[in-house]
Structure 1
Amino acid sequence: MGEGLGFAPGQVVQEFYFDEDVDNTLRATVEKETGGTIVAWDYEDMVDGVLIWWREEDAFEEDLADVLMDASANLDDAGGIVYVMTPKPGRKSSVPIDQVAEAAKTAGLKATTATSVAPDWAAMRLVARPRKR
């Protein structure tokens, strides 16, 4: 793996549901792509992209569609990219990809691709539509 997610230098990426099980190699790659540190969930300025580490047990605390709406609130007016990282199928705490796609639709995001991004993690790429001024 070790490939990035397509972020560019100078972009700001915000992260939700960080925990000890995240893939730190992928996080380091994103930071190398952007040239900056990934910012925490409580960051209040505009961002260019979002990483959400989502596990089956997270759904007991909060609805993914609500998390996606919160996450997209800080996206730049030009739109942005949201990645929902889930444990790969068959792994502990995996989440069916159709649940992610349905939550994205509810949150007003468009699901584009799902891919393997790390040994234990898959990612669904979601795109926010640009906001009208």
Structure 2
Amino acid sequence: MSATADHAEERTNPAERLGFQPGQVVQELGYDEDAEQELREGIEAITGQSLVDEDHDDVADAVVLWFRDDDGDLTDALVDATTLIDPGAPVWLLTPKTGREGYVEPSEIGEAAQTAGLAQTSTISAGKDWSGSRLVTPKSRR
């Protein structure tokens, strides 16, 4: 595949920028009707697998957490999201963009992530109405 084709896929598949790889198991939490369907379908296209839900009881390679301001305690949601992933695996926290219903303040995301033992590594536009914050668990010390 050429560099041009790679860039074209990034424009057509919003999940491309999230760094998922073929064969990965991605657990999805907090899904509701307002979730970005194009992003969800893009993740499945890249991984070649359906997203698994909160009933999945095996280790996942990554978590996608849809979270809105009225969904409860963000720290608790992040702690729950890390229970079945390996150290260093990403949690993509997806929150409504500024001005959208359910918007979560960046300071609240930073504080909740730190309290949950996660580090925020990047933030991207994850669709028309959603922002994505990449959070990672610290890799275990040797």
Q: Deviations over 1:17-55 (max 9, x none)?
A: 100000010000111111101000121100110011000
| Moved segments of 4+, more than 4 Å | none
Structure-to-structure mapping, 1:16-27, within 5 angstroms: 16-27=29-40
TM-score by length of 1: 0.91
- How far apart in 2 are the matches of 1:15 and 1:101? 21
Larger Rg computed on CA atoms = 2
Identify the residue that residue 115 of structure 1 maps to in structure 2.
124
Specify the code of the residue in structure 2 equivalent to 1:73: T
Structure 1 residues 22-61: aligned runs within 5 Å:
22-59=35-72
Q: Provide the secondary structure at the position in 2 that maps to 1:40.
A: coil
Considering fraction of residues, name the structure with more strand.
1
Matches of 2:14 and 2:130 in 1, distance apart? 13
In terms of fraction of residues, the more helix-rich structure is 2
Amino-acid identity (%): 43
Cα distance per residue 1:106-125 (max 9 Å; x no partner): 00000111111100000111
Q: Does structure 2 retain, via aligned residues, the 8 Å contact 1:6–1:33?
A: no
Give the AA of the match of 2:34. D
Question: What is the aligned partner in structure 1 of residue 89 from structure 2?
Answer: 80
Structure 1 contact 104–126 (Cα < 8 Å) conserved: yes
Give the match for residue 21 of structure 2. 8
Given candidates 107, 110, 125, the residue that maps to 1:101 is 110
Q: TM-score, normalised by structure 2?
A: 0.85
Mapped partners of 2:105, 2:22: distance in 1 = 32
